[in-house]
Structure 1
Amino acid sequence: MRDSRTRLFGSAHPPIAAAALPGHHLAPSRKGPNPVPEKLPETAAGRPRIALLPLDDRPVNVRLPGDVAAVAGVTLDVPPTELLPSYRTAGDPEALGAWLLERAAGPSTAHVVVSTDMLLYGGLIASRTSGDSTREVLARLDVLREVRRLRPELPISVVSLVTRASNSYSAAEEPEYWAEHGKELHALGGDAHRLLGDAEVLPLDELTSVPAPVVTDYSRRRLRNHMATLSTLDFVEDGTIDFLAITADDTAPFAAGSAEQVWLRHWMRMLPRGREVLMYPGADEVGAVLVARALAAMTSVEVAFSVACADPEGMTRVPPFENMPLAASASRQIRAAGATEVTTGGDVTLVLHAPDPERHDMFRGRPERVDTAAVQGTVALISARLEGGEKVALADVRYPNGADEALVRALAEANLLGRLEAFGGWNTAGNTLGSVVALAAAGAVGRAAGTFDPAAARRALLTRLLDDFAYQSVVRVDSGPSLFPDRFPMADDERVAGAERAIHRELEAVLDSVLPGDAVRIAELTLPWRRSFEIGIALS
């Protein structure tokens, strides 16, 4: 969840309804054995629905999955606001488990998508800060067994997140001692990872200067969470879970989380069904990806993606805050969405704007030098694929925490932005890849099923352009220092309201001058966690 740059339409979370609109019945080519259905299958209670227990309450975890479902003309149900966490206040795991059981028992629910961070701890931040015992946490997993007992035929897709160790002194989303020991705890995980093959266990004071009680608190929580993730592997093996994604955010090639992935991979190799589990970098986008997977399962449509990049060398780079080359990460995101990767002739071409070799971060402001050749190469690639009749989705992973401003402006000047199937350029490469793949896959599924909603697809595209480009790369860079204090969340209601008004005005200006907005307006803009990292946008 690297700094959590997320998006949402407002702050309330009723069921996210997406009424199916007539669409062009253009079935994409099938690469799998399943026939293309004429329409979404009806349940005893009517049009099928998907139930989602999200990672937390932030926009990208609640509303982006709703956008994915809406593109395909499907209804997504999420828990009511009062059950969800609110920043550092955890949600109620027991009440959330009861909500999931209620939804699973409903005859119209055709698929459930579950974040174990929400089910077991009450949200993502709670997984890093709560004092719940291992016994309490593991007992909550039994909700999934009860769902299986109630509805043996109901598909269950689950994501379990490897706990991060942020390389910072920010305690905004971590235990309070992170403000003093955060970087040292991150380094401890990396050093311990390097020593995995050593038989000798060194004294603690030879590894770190962090006080032993702090290391104990931090390590016991990691151990608890790791045991919970191991248990989800067992649930895959006994058939309780149909699909499991194990994802990791804000990691590095050597880190505590990367070491835990070594142990998890061992059990994925040992358990026969462990080979069906996908493990890759990501976090906030996974709910949307698994909703796309549910759509594919509900319709028996297997979407085929071809991947293209103007910079082949960029496919081998490991993006910042991740531990896997870009090509491998993209492949796993496609598979997690229930789609396949092909070399040519796919339903969607996923264009990747490769990571900056200098590893610049938009959180630090605009890069000093614009790589004109990289921008021109990606623009030319997109133009050629569109002119060839391909449907193109763009994952701009050039920089973390914001889109490549030069690329988006160049695409706008060439009148290409409005022709994209999907766009993303926020936070980590995994976040961007997953959200783009999910939205593009939903469009292909909707067209095949005859339920594609072009208005929903347009809103989703503009929302991402407004958030990832107009806000993260332009407004936040230019106005952020004057709008936001060093400390957050902001306590002053009037300061929050003033920042929301200013951002609203500036985004409207970008919408009018750069983006293909037509008659679309921003109906509402919010700062859901009262800080600069994420905004919530509602489009009229």
Structure 2
Amino acid sequence: MHFKFYKAMLKILFAALCTFLMVPGVQAKEKYKGTFIYIPLDDRPVTYSYPVKNLQAAGYEILTPPEKYLASADRSGDPDKLWQWLVENAPDADAAVISSDALIYGGLVASRTHFFDETTLQARVQRLEMLRERLPMPLYVYSTLMRTPRASFGNVEPPYYSKIGPAIFRYSELLDKEDTTGLTLRESLAKQAIKNNLPQADLNDWLQRRLKNYHVNKSLTELTAKYRFHYLAIGKDDNAPLSATHMEARYIKRDAFALSDQIFQIIPGVDQLGMLLLTRAVNEKNREHPLVYTYYAEGTGRTTIPQYSDSTLGESVPEQILVADARPTVNAAEADFILAVNTPKDGVMMDSTAPSNQFFASPRDKKYIGELEKFLNSGTRVSLADVTYSNGADNGFMNEFAKRGNLEKLTAYNGWNTADNTIGFAIAQGILAPQISTEDNALLMRLRLVDDWFYQSNARRDATDFLERSGSSEEVYKLGASKKHVSALAQNVCDELARKYPFTENFKFKVGFPWDRLFEISVTPTDRKK
């Protein structure tokens, strides 16, 4: 306790001394803005380091647990160590943004693959109930509804899912449809046949895992109803309009119908929630509710149902804006920024490695770029969510957009993983941008361009092709002997593309594979002086 008192006093004295002396480099910084505790899902860059970098660039101190306590590629996190760290450090903060998956299961992957019994999980939920007494500060909690992927590889589900995942997914579709509109005779017979043909031990294991996850989320909503949390967000991990995840979300919403969306929401996507809730903490601390105007590309636009989602963008985008404690507006003139959403014209979303993702702009692309240029050239801030493809950028659109000199004018760019992940980050960055210096904001955008455009849509495709040609396609999910060659290939492709555009031509960086798989990378600047 004495240590924390002295730590707090030193922080105050240092701030006063800097103000009095007007130390060069310090006087340019704004006054102390606040400190937030942040416990992420795991140590992936998009859930851990990238949100932290954004908040730090905006002037906030972010306290995170030691990385060894977080889930990584080769280990689950340690819920007990994380809990101990949280209780010891949170009194120094203004608010806490907490992944309940990290504190209950040990991370996102662990939430699907763990072997904890119901008693252990509920005991960890009840620890969260005590936080309000121990930590008299706003507590922002985010959780995950277990996903229902059409297929899955790479040891991020129970082992049987790589073999029977598609059949389990189809079974869950029929369960959900039976619960809503009912099944035809053919569908009823198909459901029974799938159930009979699946290994019963594996099916029962999957259903029990789902039930445990459902009970955890139901308990969290009950704690929210008791005002144990300031706000709770539950993310629907990869799912579909008919799926077990969709069905469970429906029941949780029904049971929590009395909770206002100011304290509880269920939305599509998970990996963006840490960033959104940190932004919400900023907005609530500053008593601000930024206005966001959403502007879609021509075509299906707001009626698009993205891959890995059960909701149209017209439903989910306003929900994500509310998660950040911002407000949607239908008046572009009064908006704090434009959320530009580049959607597929026909509503069909494919992976960015699809052969159709070439460097040729369509007439529709050029039309949308012209419309965005009117905003950009008038000085309006624009945060671009590029969701024509999943897991990467639209090459044709972005190439034309960049060649016309628009990258420098953007407020933010995102085009990673699912559409909901991308849009969540685009909202958060659009909100935080006015608090970030021009130099730092440009760096944050270059990091995303290298990751989402140069790597995901281009280098990843080349790396996948190389692994398939060399008979090592399994290394897509776990890099082994080919890692050195793949790393060099990815770096070369990204370097070559960076040199093509003025905004990135002088940006020096190193590409890494923090989880030893092609799905995500880290991008580290190598020429930035601190």
Pairwise TM-score range, normalised by the shorter structure:
0.7 to 0.9
What letter corresponds to residue 159 of structure 2 in structure 1? E
Whether contact under 8 Å (1:191, 1:207) holds in the other structure is: no
How many angstroms apart in 1 are the aligned matches of 2:336 and 2:230?
25
Give the corresponding residue for 2:422. Answer: 432
Q: Which residue of 1 aligns with 2:88?
A: 102
2:235 corresponds in structure 1 to 247
In the other structure, the counterpart of 2:340 is 351
Q: Which amino acid aligns with 1:255?
A: S
> Residue 20 and residue 474 in structure 1: after superposition, are their counterparts in 2 closer, same or farther (change >3 A)?
farther
AA partner of residue 439 (structure 1): Q
Q: Is the 8 A contact 2:289 2:326 kept in 1?
A: yes
Aligned to 1:160: 143
2:384 alignment partner in structure 1: 394
Give the corresponding residue for 2:13: none
Q: Return the letter of the residue paired with 1:215.
A: L
> Contact 1:158–1:241 at 8 Å: present in 2 too?
yes
Q: Does 1:476 align with 2:460?
A: yes
Residues 1:294 and 1:20: Cα distance change in structure 2 (over 3 Å): farther
Question: Are residues 430 and 22 of structure 1, via their aligned partners in 2, closer, same or farther at CA, if it must alter by over 3 Å?
Answer: farther
Deviations along 1:159-215, one digit per CA (max 9) or x if unpaired, are 111101211152531100012210111111111111115999x89844522121111
SS in 2 for 1:537: strand
CA contact (8 A) 1:319 1:355 kept: no
Matched pairs, number:
489
The correspondence of residues 442-461 of structure 1 with structure 2, limited to 5 A, is 442-444=432-434, 446=435, 452-461=436-445
Query: Could you list the per-position Cα deviations for residues 487-528 of structure 1 after superposition, in whole angstroms to 9, with x for gaps in the alignment?
Result: 144453x63233223322321221121250264310x32101
In structure 2, stretches of 5+ residues that fail to align are 1-24
Alignment match, 1:234: 222
Matches within 5 A, 1:310-459: 310-311=297-298, 313-344=300-331, 345-357=334-346, 359-367=348-356, 372-444=362-434, 446=435, 452-459=436-443
Matches within 5 A, 1:19-98: 22=28, 48-98=34-84
Q: Kindly indicate whether residue 116 of structure 2 is the aligned counterpart of residue 116 of structure 1.
A: no
Relative to the length of structure 2, the TM-score reads 0.87
Flag the 1:275–1:304 CA change in 2: closer, same or farther, 3 A. Answer: closer
352-361 or 334-343, larger mean C-alpha shift: 352-361
The normalised TM-score by structure 1 is: 0.85
Distance (Å, rounded) in 2 between the aligned partners of 1:75 and 1:105 = 14
Displacement, 1:483? 5.1
d(CA) in 1 for partners of 2:516, 2:38:
25
**In structure 2, distance between residues paired with 1:268 and 1:316:** 27
Q: Distance in 1 between matches of 2:380 and 2:311?
A: 28
CA distance in 1, matches of 2:511, 2:452: 14
Distance between the aligned counterparts of 2:125 and 2:440, measured in 1? 35
SS in 2 for 1:506: helix
Q: Distance in 2 between matches of 1:221 and 1:102?
A: 32
- CA offset digits 1:54-101 (Å, max 9, x no partner): 112211010121132023111222221211112252111111111121
How far did residue 479 of structure 1 move? 3.7
Rounded Cα–Cα distance in structure 2 between residues aligned with 1:187 and 1:468:
31
Farther off after superposition, 74-83 or 163-172 = 163-172
Which of 145, 150, 162 is residue 179 of structure 1 equivalent to? 162
Q: CA deviation at 1:310?
A: 3.0
SS in 1 for 2:111: helix
Where in structure 2 are the equivalents of 1:258-337 lying within 5 Å? 258-269=246-257, 271-273=258-260, 276-311=263-298, 313-337=300-324
**Amino acid of the structure 2 residue aligned with 1:254:** L
* Residue 199 (structure 2) aligns with: 211
Correspondences of 1:491-506 after superposition (within 5 Å): 492=480, 495-506=482-493
Contact 2:353/2:460 (8 A) holds in 1: no
Q: Which runs of 5+ in 1 are unaligned?
A: 1-18, 24-38, 447-451
What is the aligned-residue RMSD (CA, Å)?
Answer: 2.4
Q: What is the CA-CA distance between 1:402 and the residue it aligns to?
A: 1.0
Q: Does the CA contact (< 8 Å) of 2:147 and 2:245 recur in 1?
A: yes
Alpha-carbon separation, structure 2, partners of 1:339 and 1:275: 11
Q: What is the one-letter code of the residue matched to 2:337?
A: V
Task: Name the CA shift for 1:181/1:390 in 2 (closer, same or farther; >3 Å).
Answer: same
Matched position secondary structure for 1:195: helix
Q: Distance in 1 between matches of 2:328 and 2:421?
A: 19
Hey, what's the Cα distance between the residues in 1 that align with 2:502 and 2:247?
Answer: 43
Q: Pick 1 or 2: higher relative contact order, CA cutoff 8 A, min separation 6.
A: 1
Deviations 1:303-322 (A, max 9, x none): 11111123263211211211
Contact 1:267 1:274 in 2 (8 A): no
Contact 1:393 1:423 in 2 (8 A): yes
Percent identity of paired positions between Structure 1 and Structure 2: 25
For 1:509 and 1:358, locate their aligned partners in 2 and report how far apart those are by CA, in whole Å: 31
SS of the residue corresponding to residue 295 of structure 2 reads strand
**Alpha-carbon displacement from aligned partner over 1:3-61 (angstroms, at most 9, x marks no partner):** xxxxxxxxxxxxxxxx98848xxxxxxxxxxxxxxx76x5xxxx521111111221101
Mark the structure with the bigger radius of gyration. Answer: 2
C-alpha distance in structure 2 between counterparts of 1:309 and 1:275, whole Å: 26
